[in-house]
Amino acid sequence: MAKDLTGMPFEQIEAFVSELGGKPYYAQYLFAAIHAKGVDDVAQVTPLPKAFRGTLAERGYRIERLHPVEHHTDPDGTAKLVFDVGDGQRIESVVLTDGDRRTLCLSCQVGCRMACRFCATGKLGFARSLGAGAIVEQVYQAAARCGRIHNVVYMGMGEPFDNTQAVLDSIRILNHPLGLGLGQRHITLSTCGLPEAIRRFAQLCWQVRLAISLHAPDDALRRRLMPVAGKVPLAELLEAVREYQRITHRRVTFEYCLMRDVNDSPAQARDTANLLHELNAAVNLIEFNPHPGCGYKPSDRDRMHRFRDVLGRTGIETVIRYRRGRSIKAACGQLGAAWLTDGASHGNSASPRDQASDP
């Protein structure tokens, strides 16, 4: 059976190199060739002996690369890459530019099980999870076309804690000094909020930033907006966050998408402040981005500013994330939106499952 070397963390490569009788430093050559030098064929890893390269090929080891089939650019500088991941399925990644720094919003699944009502990806249903190789390849391919990637956020298509092993492996690969060497503090993992997964993630004591989709200050509204919240009361979620912070001593960012006359009132801002005031928390207020079949509307700017000011007066650091990349459907919540109307291939429709997998 073919084995994708691109998705193997360094320790895994070390293990199979040893099993094949190779020298320990063979693993360093192999990992660096894949993740630092962009080699795409084991036969081209010339620091390795020819016989060992032949053994790798015979055993089915290969280097799989992901290549974009579309590249769109918005007037504001935002870029969207569309990748064919096989079986007629596609994913999207977005590069956001801020001065000379670039942040990649990458995907970890084809579609998503969570089915959040305001998210285009959630309307696509779920097809499958991506391997670690396909996740890290989005970073390399984005860098090749847009320039060096300084930050990576797991906020694209899919729920990271519904594809835990591949996501964690991809972080290990991106962080390794023989590869990209991306610092953990330059990586953000965004989740809809699965308590057990958050607790297990805390045990790793990584410096990776954690972001949690909140979007409502009470259980009733959150259940309306996010079906997964039906099994995760806010009290249970926030207790998991407190445990995470007791272990890691790290601040958590809460994502809150503002929708007109749904979750953007001054009273809801005060409730949100009361909910988070005991935590070491920051809030990103996200300007809602419309897409086909979604009846929600964005809050007006004045209302967004008032919501921010209410949180700010309580000492919660709050930033408004304004729309970027709307003309190419690359804004937050819009990934896959084009496929809702144009008939392009996308994830197979599926209902959100009862409980996502945990680390």
Of 352, 106, 107, the closest CA to residue 232 belongs to: 352
How large is the greatest C-alpha to C-alpha distance in the chain, in angstroms?
70
Hey, how many other C-beta atoms are within 10 angstroms of the C-beta on 235? Answer: 9
> Is 92 part of the annotated catalytic residue set?
yes
Is 137 one of the annotated active-site residues of the chain? no
Checking phi first, is residue 328 left (phi over 0); if not, alpha (psi -120 to 50) or beta? alpha
**Which amino acid, residue 250?**
R
Q: Give CA torsion, residues 81, 84, 90, 94, to 10 deg.
A: -10
Which residue shows structure tokens 């699965």? 194
Q: Which of 92, 137, 159, 287 is catalytic?
A: 92
C-alpha Rg value of the chain to the nearest Å: 21
Q: How many CB atoms lie within 10 A of CB 229?
A: 24
Catalytic residue from among 116, 119, 294, 332: 332
Pairing of strands 101-105, 61-62: unpaired
CB 212 within 8 A of CB 253: yes
Handedness of CA 342, 348, 350, 353 (dihedral sign): negative
The secondary structure element, H or E, covering residue 243 is helix 234-248
Residues with Cβ within 8 Å of 335's Cβ and at least 6 positions away in sequence, in order, are 92, 94, 107, 120, 121, 156, 157, 329
Q: Which residues are catalytic?
A: 92, 332
